[in-house]
Homo-oligomer: A and B are copies of this chain.
Amino acid sequence: MTKEPVVAILGATGAVGQEFIRLIEERKFPYSKLKLLASYRSAGKKMTVNGEEYTVEEAKPESFDGVDIGLFAGGSISKELGPEAAKRGCIVIDNSSTFRMDPNVPLVVPEVNPEDIAWHKGIIANPNCSTIIMLMALKPIHDLSPIKRIIVSTYQAVSGAGKEGIDELRDETEAYLKGEEMQPKILPSKSLPKHYPIAFNLIPQIDKFVEKDYTKEEMKMVNETHKMLHDDSIAITATTVRVPVFRSHAESVYVETADELTVDAVRKAIDAFPGAQVQDNPAEMEYPMPLFTSEKYDCYVGRIRKDLYNPKAINLWVSGDQIRKGAALNALQIAEYMLAHDMIH
């Protein structure tokens, strides 16, 4: 497009919405006009973007008239407003899980499957955070030799439960250290009937249980990986666990490939992959840790080593910022890709 796009952020006041604003400023994302939208509860709030003050408006279908790009932070509001915005010619980049497995909606990590952007019909889905971060480490391996099997255990930050999750970890930690009772209200998921403390604890449930005693989060890692790598035959098992970390996820991944790969070849491929960085030097005690991958754009990969028993398997450890590459950054990068490739008109 010749002029700069009109951009709307839906859910501007939440953790991912605020990150959209920070990233638009940091990355100098171009816009001719910006609208901040949210549910009626947050309407009227004032927010500053690039030094200019905005009033958050209540999101309605008409809010998207004349909008070129809708950055949807996530949540149930996407289901109604996604199609309404798309109908009005707005390209929706949606961070909710609503449309991810819709065969008419591309599910995209720009470094992994940019080719899928082309066939969008108005809505492009942003994958689940844990899937994005895993694939940033695995796609370069898949390009060396097709992946046959993945066994992943996650260590997921509370930011995945939004601002409320972050506040809960802080509040519970303070209470615990004072010897007071912790009062969990959010985790493992606000909508579930029971809540457990996350401070100094681990919760081996993220999202609800859906099938065969796997959680929705675990099935997202299976199904979304299949969709983005265009290969439903990859055998994937996930165990997803919430840990008392604020905003970067980590994952322990066992990956089997069709051919035998050297650690050196894997390291080189990951390092050459945009958005991924190898941080892997055992002699110097270098490996990714979530405290230090927070607020970064890239995903960091370390502990890369051959399986001791299967010559076609590699074990690795990946960590990336859940709110950035796991959510807002990836969505914004989809928009940046489309602008760079003149895909927004």
Contact = CB atoms under 8 A, between A and B. Distances in A.
B239 A315 contact: yes
Interface stretch (A15-23, A138-146, A187-195): A187-195
Interface stretch (A49-57, A105-113, A207-215): A207-215
Interface residues of A, number: 61
A103 interface: no
A252 B239 contact: yes
A34 interface: no
A174 interface: yes
A237 to B, nearest CB: 5
B285 A192 contact: yes
Number of copies: 2
Contact of A155 (B149, B243, B284): B243
Nearest to A212: B305
B204 A315 contact: no
Interface stretch (A25-33, A58-66, A128-136, A288-296): A288-296
B287 A235 contact: no
A99 interface: no
A291 B197 contact: yes
Given A177-B174, A237-B308, A246-B200, A283 B151 contact: no
Interface string A147-165: 0010101010000000000
B308 A200 contact: no
Chain B CB count within 10 A is highest, among A197, A201, A202, A287, for: A202
A239 B317 contact: yes
B177 A306 contact: no
Given A155-B155, A177-B174, A209-B283, A204 B288 contact: yes
A320 interface: no
A282 B202 CA distance: 16
B306 A212 contact: yes
Contacts of A304: 213
B204 A303 contact: yes
What are the nearest 3 A-B pairs in CB distance? A235-B309, A153-B153, A153-B252
Given A155-B202, A204-B302, 19 more contacts: A151-B254, A169-B200, A174-B177, A196-B291, A197-B291, A201-B291, A204-B252, A205-B287, A209-B283, A236-B308, A236-B309, A237-B307, A237-B315, A239-B303, A241-B250, A241-B317, A243-B243, A243-B244, A244-B244
8 contacts: A149-B309, A151-B151, A170-B177, A177-B177, A194-B284, A213-B263, A222-B308, A244-B244
